[in-house]
Structure 1
Amino acid sequence: MSKPAILVQVRAALLALAALHAGPAGAQQLATAWPSNVGPLNPHLYAPNQMFAQASVYEPLVKYRADGTLEPWLATAWTVSPDGRTYDFTLRPGVTFSDGTPFDAPAVKANFDAILANRARHAWLDLVRRIDRTEVTGPLAFRLVLDAPHAPTLNELSLPRPFRFVSPAAMKAGGTTADGIAAPIGTGPWRLVETRLGVSDTFAANPAYWGEKPGFARLVVKVIPDPNTRAIALQTGEVDLIAGAAGLIPSEAFLRLRDQAPAFSAALSPPLATRVLALNSARAPTDDLAVRRAINRAVDKDTLVRTVLDGLEPRADFLFGRNVPDADAGLTPYGFDRAAADKLLDEAGWVRGRDGARAKDGRPLAVELAFVGTNAQQKAIAEVVQADLARVGIAVRLVGEEESAILARQKDGRFGLIFGETWGPPYDPASFLSAMRAPSHADYQAQKGLPDKPTIDATITAALAATDPQERRRLSGRVLAALHEAAVYLPISSAVAIEVHRPTVTGVRFGATLNEIPFAAMRPGPGR
């Protein structure tokens, strides 16, 4: 092990001990649960790193707010050149990483250089493609120069990854991707101090944090893969809080606990994203437009939302909600109409057999629907979709696998239908549309077989470069209209976040995005 790496680990261990003894009175502990470990928490990489944990340890230059605006964070101010290509940031003074390393312009540049050294991995994000160079223009002055204007630059700098900052002392050979990092050391309110695989991850409050200190000395994230078991852990007091995307606990458990006030407090966020099934246009039989449109007509989403989701998530008809900027394209929903679905399939030559299943030229009308096997909500939705499609003669085979296997299917296209979500603010719509052009998500694979895929991608590129808001809205609308007509998505519902907590914790609220949980704002409650 290199000397810098040894120093990082020694420094991290000392700070971990300090954090455990420098917290609030009584060194109180907040316990929550998650389906998996949080991962190594490299801020510049993706799965298995969990985004809520990355956002707890690492911070951005600018922070996205729930009202859609951006506020200064590690940068206190910024200016943009008239041509939209140069961004000058003034960095916050007095900030250090949790290992004591100063946060300054050289540290910011080192992180950008590490990200750009792995540019191909981040190609889904258009800002990475657009960066021409970075410059240190003063001890606390950093310059970002693009090769062309890019309207969502500031929004993309606020994302949970990859534009967040790890201590340069934790970088291996000056980078963060080839060999990972020596330790997850950021400027944020929390530090990861222990990982027990399959058991828990423990975070300690960062005593050097520049902002408001966490109300708890420790945050323990217990690994509980099963949603029902997570609900039981909350009921029995094993954990204080469940927070995150709906589906962390079964919807009926959420409703039951919500009715047990004051023993439990529960809340739903406003809609933050869209739950969808992606339909593979490059793989039979969903390469047939009539099949994709029939699927959109055949699923009774109102009944699904009422029975499976217990009405917690409203029905979705489009890839993005109409409230998403630049996303109201004036489209007409497909709507549930089983007779119309049958007619589409009949006219396309898919003939019903005596058993009710359809076939064409000896080929059965059968698709695979892939979902995360430990996600009870996805499984229940998949079973309803399977039953609805069987009624119009489409056979569906359900494939439940671990999350990493489903992610691999999304990337390589081994699916007929597969679960996905839009990413919510601040990703939607610009960053989500940008990612459609890179073969790293299900969206690219779903669209790969479309004859106008090159035109769709070119229009996305033009929209991202448009400096006129009306032109950007027009171009985004063209993309959304093309995808809607091609029926490569089956929107299911508008995804929400949930939180349920015991009286042992107060100050619980939702983050501005689906992937951030503001643990640092929480405080011990009277029930502790």
Structure 2
Amino acid sequence: MLRRSMLHAMSGFAALAALPPAFGQNVRRRLTFSWPTNAGPLHPHLYSPNQMYAQSMLYEPLVRYVEGGKILPALATAWEMEEDGRAWRFTLRPGVRFTDGTPFDAAAAVANVNAVLGNRARHAWLELVNQIDGAEAIDPGTVRLRLKGPYYPALLELALPRPLRFVSPAALRPDGSIAAPVGTGPWVLAETAHGQHDRFRRNEQYWGEKPVLEEVLVRVLGDSNARALALESGEIDLTYGTDQLDADTFRRFAADPRFTTAISPPIGTRMLALNSARFPTDELAVREAIAQGIDRAALVRHILLDTEPAAETLFARNFPYTDLGLRAPAFDRAAATARLDAAGWRLPAGGRVRSKGGKELALDLCFIGADALQKAIGEAVQGDLARIGIAVRLVGEDASTYYGRQRSGEFGMIFGDSWGAPYDPHAFMSSMRAPSHADYQAQRGLPMKSEIDRRIGAVLSITEEARRAEEYRWLLTTLHEQAVYFPVSFFTNKVVHRPALGRVPFGDMRTDIPFDRIGRG
């Protein structure tokens, strides 16, 4: 983690002693944050408009994920694999209650799992939901999860912010809806004002270490400029996230001695997918020339302003099974040009675009038109590839049309992000088998696509660690060598706050904001 230390900043809330007493008391009591939208109805099993950071404040999983793929206890204190991976037995944490006073026990856990399974089609994107055969209460403190077959990422997917988290059975209706957002987590939702704010209060009966803060007020601020102004004026205390501030604004705060800034380790990958089933990127030599012809370092330096590290691989090395020593080809315009020459792509005298067999070397780069960052990266890529004789047409469209292209494969290159921890690599790669995903469409023309899909399916059921690692090595090396992705950078979470707030840690998942740990030593 990169952190710029303030010269006279003191750790924790000791710094508050230097502030006026009223201000210090206010910071102890309430932190003001901002988010583009309201938190939503906060159903733990459902998706938009529910905001994941807020779902994680109220609802807890059986187990939790920490960076690097390690699994630690949460609502379960112990677990064991049974029947060669076809079942998992969990020992539940004793004495835990929902904020309405209802005990968290095996019956409550089973009721929540059954509610998710009752809406199985809605959750089909998550392979664990497809694999669960059922749940049973062995006794009040033990629950057993039966699977259709071995599925090694079961614990990883139980740690996700949704859908397998737990609401009070007293609030869970027969149709799967909830009467109120009642969890076991360190926070409770106290108030929602539509378009204005959400107010969270500390759960005073929380089973674990209680937050230092008593209250988190989340103001609704729709754009990064408004967020930056609110931070400068003191209307909010903290910004946190991947894109809550643009890179230039973050750099400005990093140079301002009134603020502390920090950048997390990599939490996912920003990339371009190249369509192996569509002319002209159906040719490996063209994809390899693109990989050599784009100046990745310049994109990171001039557009991302060094707020994200350059990415040479599909996943960062701090994810499970991904530290394989793979390297991207170095930016080399002369080598890219020679590669295209050798493949028969000729640049006519006085011309700017190569051609072969009467067809020009031209392709579409699709992006969301309202996304200024994608547009800026796209323009830089367009300029780089023009210098080696590849014409790039920038196609900026509304989000619905853009996602339609991802599903249909109507693109030459298209922007994409990996899903981050704990989805990477297993869940992101599992989705590569679905025709509705851009990754499937991008890989569809590869001669070994069927083998890639078969091996992805196989690796998910391998319970032997060494065999699993070898399968991932083959998969990630093959995709790397086929140049079907151009990784741009590893995106990061970024935090800005005043030093008096003390230590602001990063969550282990992209979507988690650890308000409960702010102010601790």
CA-to-partner distance for each residue in 1:17-51, whole Å, 9 max, x for gaps?
xxxxxxx9769332222334444433323344332
Q: Distance in 2 between matches of 1:99 and 1:413?
A: 49
Which stretch of the first structure deviates more once superposed, 457-466 or 424-433?
424-433
What is the aligned partner in structure 2 of residue 430 from structure 1? 426
Alpha-carbon deviation of 1:344?
Answer: 4.1
Q: 5 Å matches for 1:297-312?
A: 297-312=292-307
State which of 236, 246, 256 in structure 2 corresponds to 1:239: 236
What is the aligned partner in structure 2 of residue 186 from structure 1? 183
Q: 5 Å matches for 1:228-377?
A: 228-245=225-242, 247-261=243-257, 263-346=258-341, 348=343, 350=345, 352=347, 356-358=352-354, 361-362=358-359, 365-371=362-368, 373-374=370-371, 376-377=372-373
Aligned residues between the structures: 495
What is the aligned partner in structure 2 of residue 65 from structure 1? 66
Q: Distance in 2 between matches of 1:369 and 1:498?
A: 27
Residues 225/389 of structure 1: CA separation in 2 closer, same or farther (3 Å cut): farther
CA-to-partner distance for each residue in 1:149-170, whole Å, 9 max, x for gaps?
2222212211222221223344
The answer to whether the Cα contact below 8 Å between 1:252 and 1:310 also exists between their aligned partners in 2 is yes
Corresponding residue SS for 2:60? coil
Residues 130/487 of structure 1: CA separation in 2 closer, same or farther (3 Å cut): same
State which of 497, 501, 504 in structure 2 corresponds to 1:505: 501
The answer to whether the Cα contact below 8 Å between 1:326 and 1:476 also exists between their aligned partners in 2 is yes
What is the aligned partner in structure 1 of residue 223 from structure 2? 226
Q: 5 Å matches for 1:50-129?
A: 50-66=51-67, 68-81=69-82, 83-129=84-130
Output the aligned Cα RMSD: 3.0
Residues 159/300 of structure 1: CA separation in 2 closer, same or farther (3 Å cut): same
The answer to whether the Cα contact below 8 Å between 2:280 and 2:363 also exists between their aligned partners in 1 is yes
Q: Distance in 2 between matches of 1:114 and 1:350?
A: 57
Q: Distance in 2 between matches of 1:451 and 1:292?
A: 15
CA-to-partner distance for each residue in 1:278-329, whole Å, 9 max, x for gaps?
2233444434433333322221011111222222322211102334332234
What is the aligned partner in structure 1 of residue 454 from structure 2? 458
Which amino acid in the other structure matches residue 32 of structure 2? A
Unaligned runs of 5+ in 1: 1-23
Q: Distance in 2 between matches of 1:473 and 1:112?
A: 30
What is the aligned partner in structure 2 of residue 471 from structure 1? 467
Unaligned runs of 5+ in 2: 1-23
The answer to whether the Cα contact below 8 Å between 1:124 and 1:434 also exists between their aligned partners in 2 is no
Alpha-carbon deviation of 1:486?
Answer: 2.4
Residues 78/367 of structure 1: CA separation in 2 closer, same or farther (3 Å cut): same
Alpha-carbon deviation of 1:267?
Answer: 1.1
Q: Distance in 1 between matches of 2:175 and 2:102?
A: 15
The answer to whether the Cα contact below 8 Å between 2:365 and 2:378 also exists between their aligned partners in 1 is no
Q: Distance in 1 between matches of 2:147 and 2:32?
A: 43
Q: TM-score, length-normalised on structure 1? A: 0.84
Identity %: 52
Corresponding residue SS for 2:506? coil
Residues 404/105 of structure 1: CA separation in 2 closer, same or farther (3 Å cut): farther
CA-to-partner distance for each residue in 1:219-242, whole Å, 9 max, x for gaps?
233333333332222112121101
State which of 198, 201, 209 in structure 1 corresponds to 2:198: 201
Which stretch of the first structure deviates more once superposed, 88-97 or 187-196?
187-196
2:208 pairs with 1:211: yes
Alpha-carbon deviation of 1:445?
Answer: 3.1
The answer to whether the Cα contact below 8 Å between 2:364 and 2:395 also exists between their aligned partners in 1 is no
The answer to whether the Cα contact below 8 Å between 2:293 and 2:331 also exists between their aligned partners in 1 is yes
Which stretch of the first structure deviates more once superposed, 48-57 or 71-80?
48-57
The answer to whether the Cα contact below 8 Å between 1:105 and 1:138 also exists between their aligned partners in 2 is yes
State which of 354, 371, 386 in structure 2 corresponds to 1:390: 386
Q: Distance in 2 between matches of 1:415 and 1:186?
A: 43
CA-to-partner distance for each residue in 1:336-368, whole Å, 9 max, x for gaps?
122333344445555556562345645661313
The answer to whether the Cα contact below 8 Å between 2:114 and 2:134 also exists between their aligned partners in 1 is no
Which amino acid in the other structure matches residue 390 of structure 1? A
Q: TM-score, length-normalised on structure 2? A: 0.85
Q: Distance in 2 between matches of 1:510 and 1:422?
A: 19
